Structure 1
Amino acid sequence: MSTLRRDELANFLRTRRARLRPAEVGLPEGVRRRTPGLRRQEVAQLAGMSIDYYIRLEQGRGPHPSRQVLAALARALLLSRDERAYLFRVAGEAPPDATGPGREVSPGLRHLLDAMAETPAYLVDAAYEILAWNRLAAFFVGDLSAVPAGERSMVRWMFGAAVPESHWADPEVLRFARTTVADLRAAYGRYPADPALAALVTELLGLSPRFAALWAEHEVGERRPTVKRVAHPELGPLEFECRVLHVPETDQRLIVYVPEPGSSTQAAFRRVAERVDS
C-alpha cells in the first residue's frame, strides 16, 4: 500500500463534487443552491456513507478510506476510468482492474465522427458493441437510433443465422471474421468478470458453428486493416479499406471505411454526404 495523500484526495473530491449537477445523478435541482455542484450530504447519500465521514475526507482528515469506500465514491461522482484510477492512487491504493469494456463515448470522439462527413465511421467497444456512428455509417450498419443499447453487436450480426453460407466464400470476409474473433478473445481475457461479454461468447458458441470453430483456434490479437468489397443495393459495388483505430484510454475501436483517393467508391461516399447535408 502506498502513502495516502490526504490533501490531494480532499481537493480531488471537492472539485469532482462541484462539477456535477443534481440531474446527472438523478436528484432534483432544488432552488437554493448557493454553489455549483452537489452538496456534501448528497454525495454521502449516493455513496452510502455518513455525512460526517465524507466531510472528514474532504477536510483532509479521518481514517484511511477502504477500497469499498473508494469504489462507492467513484460511482457516486460518476468518475471516468482515469479519474477512478487517480482516486485510488491518491488514497494509497492500487487501482482496481477494469471489470468490463469501456462503453462511455467521449465528446471528442463524437465530434470526430461528425467531422468525418465524407467517410463512414463508427465506434465500438472491445466487445464490438456499436456505441456511436456518423450519418454515412448508417448506410452500412443501418439507423441504430431505434435499436436498444446492448443489441448493437457487430459480432452477433456477423455470425447470425441470417448470413448465407455464400458470404463466407470471400477470403477477405473470412479474414475479417477471424481477426475480429481474435480481438474478441483478447478482450475476453482482459475482462473475465464482465457478464455481458461472457454471455455473448456463450451465445455465439451455441448458435454459430463457424464462430465456435474460430474460437477453438485460440488466436489472440488486435484487429488489422482489411479490404472490404460490398455490393451495396443503392450505391452499387464499393471497395474500401476497413481501418480499425484503437482508442487506448477506453479500449474502444474507431472503425473507418477508407476509399482509394479518386476511386468510384470515394465519389459515391461524396455523393451521399452531399445528399444528407442538403
Structure 2
Amino acid sequence: MDRPELADFLRHARSRLDPSDVGLPPGARRRTPGLRREEVASLTGMSADYYTRLEQSRGPHPSRQMLTALARALRLTDDERDHLFHLAGEEPPRREATGTHVGPGLLLVLDRLHDTPALVTTDCGEVLAQNALSRALSGDVLARPARERNLLRRYFLDPTARALFPPEDRPARAREHVANLRAVAAARPADPVPAALVAELRVGSEEFARLWAEHEVAVRRATTKRFLHPTVGLLELDCEVLINTETHQHLVIHTARPGTESYERLQLLRVVGLQDMAPSRS
C-alpha cells in the first residue's frame, strides 16, 4: 500500500468535485474548491476521522468494499478506480465480471434527479447507487451489509422487505423478479453471478422455487408500482428502466403523475424524508 500516493490521489479527486456533482446542496461559501472531507466520508459510509487519516497518509488499509465506495463517492472512471485499488495494494475487480462500478456520467444523471426517486442496480438486482429521494422512499440500501443490497435476495429471503408494497401487489412483484432473473440467467449462461443467485433462492425460498418452475420470462421494463411509505402513505409511481447493455446496469426512475395524490405525497416525502436524513447522516 502506497499511503502517500493514495492520500495525494484522494485529495486531488476530492478537490475537483462540486457539491452539485454528487447531489449535495452548495451550502455556505467554501474557502477551497471541492468537497469537504466529511462530505466524502458521508457519501462513502465511513467516519470523517477514518477518511481524514487516509488523506493524511496514516490511515489503515482500506477494505475492497471501502475502495469501491470511495470510487463511487469520488465519481472515478474505470481507470481511476483501478488506480485507486493499485495504490491501496489491491487487485482491481475484473470489469467484465463485476459490472458493479457505476461510471461518473451515470452518477451525474442520478444526482441531477432531485425531485424523483432513482437508483442504479445490476440486472440481477444488486443496488449500486441511490439518490437522496430513493433513500427517503425505501431506505439507505448501501448502508446495509453487502449481502442485503440485492433486491431479489431481500424480497424472497427477508419478510420485512415486502412491507414496502401493498399485500395485494406482492405476488405480482415476486413474479416479475423471477421472470426477469430467468431472462438474465439465460442471456449469460457462463456468468456465475445470476446462476449462484438462482441456486441460492431456489433453496432458500419455496415461493421462488415454485415460480422458477413455471418458466416465465420477462425483461424488466416500464411498469407502475405502488409503495406503502410509513410517513406519507400510499404512492403510485411510474417506473422507467434505462438499460446499459455493456455493464448490465439499470437506471431505475420512479415518477408520479402531476395532479395526482401520489404526486403531492412524493413532494411531501421530498421535504419530510430529506429533512429526517440530512442532519444525522454520517
Structure 2 length-normalised TM? 0.59
Contact in 1 for aligned 2:119/2:251 (Cα 8 Å): yes
Q: 1:179 aligns with which of 163, 176, 179?
A: 176
Tell me which residue corresponds to 1:194.
191
Query: Residue 132 of structure 1 corresponds to which residue in structure 2?
Result: 129
Q: Which residue of 1 aligns with 2:211?
A: 214
The secondary structure found in structure 1 opposite 2:219 is coil
Q: What's the counterpart of residue 261 of structure 1?
A: 258
Match of 2:71 in 1: none
Give the alignment partner of residue 273 of structure 1, picking from 262, 270, 275.
Answer: 270
Choose from 60, 78, 86 the match for 1:26: 86
Q: What are the residue-to-residue correspondences of 1:48-197 with 2, within 5 Å?
A: 100=97, 102-162=99-159, 170=168, 172-197=169-194
Letter in 1 for 2:236: E
Tell me the distance in 1 between the aligned counterparts of 2:246 and 2:184: 14
CA RMSD in angstroms, aligned pairs only: 3.3
Give the stretch that moved more between structures: 189-198 or 118-127.
189-198
Query: Structure 2: which amino acid aligns with 1:206?
Result: V
Structure 2 unaligned blocks of 5 or more: 1-78
CA distance in 2: counterparts of 1:79 and 1:199, whole angstroms:
18
- Tell me the TM-score normalized by structure 1: 0.60
C-alpha distance after superposition, 1:189-230 (max 9, x if no partner): 233333333222111111211111111112223113332222
Amino acid at match of 1:121: A
SS at match of 2:185: helix
Name the % identity. Answer: 37
Structure 1 residues 140, 271: closer, same or farther in 2, change over 3 A?
closer
**Contact 2:236/2:256 (8 A) holds in 1:** yes
Contact 1:101 1:127 in 2 (8 A): no
Alpha-carbon distance between aligned partners in 2 of 1:22 and 1:169, rounded to the nearest angstrom: 44
Count of aligned positions: 196
Task: Sort the Cα spacing of 1:161 and 1:176 in 2 relative to 1 into closer, same or farther, 3 A.
Answer: closer
Shift of 1:258: 1.5
The runs of 5 or more residues in structure 1 that have no matched partner are 1-18, 30-45, 47-74, 81-97
1:223 to 213, 220, 231: 220
Conservation of the 8 A alpha-carbon contact between 2:136 and 2:269: no
The corresponding residue for 1:8 is: none
* 1:131 to partner: Cα distance: 0.6
Contact 1:22 1:28 in 2 (8 A): no
The structure with the largest alpha-carbon Rg is 1
Runs of 4+, deviation exceeding 4 Å: 19-23, 163-169
